[in-house]
Amino acid sequence: MTRDPERAPLRPPDARLAERRRRAKRRQVVRRRRRVAAAGAVVVLVGVVLAARTLGGSSTIAAKGARARYADRTTTGTRRPLSAAQRQAAREAAAVQAARRRTPHVAVAGRERREMALTFDDGPGPYTPQVVRVLQRRHVPATFFQVGQSAKRFTRGGQDDRRDRNLVVGNHTETHAHLPALPVSAQISEVDDASAVIKGEGNPPPRLFRPPYGAFDRSTLHVLANRRMLMVLWTIDSQDYQRPGVATIVRRVVDGARPGAIVLMHDAGGDRSQTVAALPAIIHQLRERHYKLVTIPRLMLDDPPPRKQPPVAVGVG
């Protein structure tokens, strides 16, 4: 049955107006949602682009930063990590300072390890290179107490010494002076002038000091304390300066061997050919007795010295 449109019920005007408003509102909501969706897509797209650029830029910046840091490390050395040798040197330097705070002078180290230290006084001189060659060929570390004026007259020994980090250079005054006979100002000059020569040869600032003849007084100790230097004496005097013969020099050193011992020998100040000849036998026999030969700083690190040191015997150091 067909409905007659003319017979359809008519809606009041207010109802028709309300319907049109609802439809218009729905269309506005739809358009608004479409605009928001479109805007969101644009934002996402822009974000993707910016992120890609940022990541690329960050990578570039990071790479540049890494190159800059590497360049800084390689050119200035300020950030380069310490090598194993440098770390060991720092530990030994700290051990020297610890020993200095424990005792005013060291003539012998502890007895816990079978380690000994060979030391040579009065150089450099004509026999110093020969002594150094014997030590290097047998891979033996040693400590040299250098006289400033000798270094000025004969620089070859100092140059040989500083090429090998196993050969430590200490201070033995500028002129090999008898310190107790000098006023404090002259003692200061003797110590400082020799240190300046040692540093001028390319060595680290010396932290080890041996007084000539083993002679010192309160002024000497005060000078060394202000300069944070450790006075090193000896346990065994080879008396090689007397030139008693190669066999006698060897016997004196080997018979006196004990853990922590410090051996006094000479590489200058006279004819030291007997010392050079005795050195290989000394090294061989000490090693046969299972002694390890080390520098004074290494001895202080491995086997710190006792507070009570043996009485000081004035000799010809």
| Catalytic residue numbers, as ranges | 121, 266
3-state DSSP of the chain = CCCCHHHCCCCCHHHHHHHHHHHHHHHHHHHHHHHHHHHHHHHHHHHHHHHHHHHHHHHHHHHHHHHHHHHHHHHCCCCCCCCHHHHHHHHHHHHHHHHHHHCCEECECCCCCCEEEEEEEEECCCCHHHHHHHHHHCCCCEEEEECHHHHHHCCHHHHHHHHCCCEEEEECCCCCCCHHHCCHHHHHHHHHHHHHHHHHCCCCCCCEECCHHHCCCHHHHHHHHHCCCEEECCCEECCHHHCCCHHHHHHHHHHCCCCCEEEEEECCCCCCHHHHHHHHHHHHHHHHCCCEEECHHHHHHHCCCCCCCCCCCCCCC
- Whether residue 119 contacts residue 264, with contact meaning beta carbons closer than 8 Å, is answered with yes
Which candidate, 198, 217, 219, 218, places its Cα nearest to that of 207?
198
CB-based contacts of 208: which residues, under 8 Å, 6+ apart? 96, 143, 145, 168, 170, 171, 229, 230, 232, 296, 297
Distances (CA, A) of 19 to 2, 8, 11, 26, 187: 26, 18, 11, 11, 114
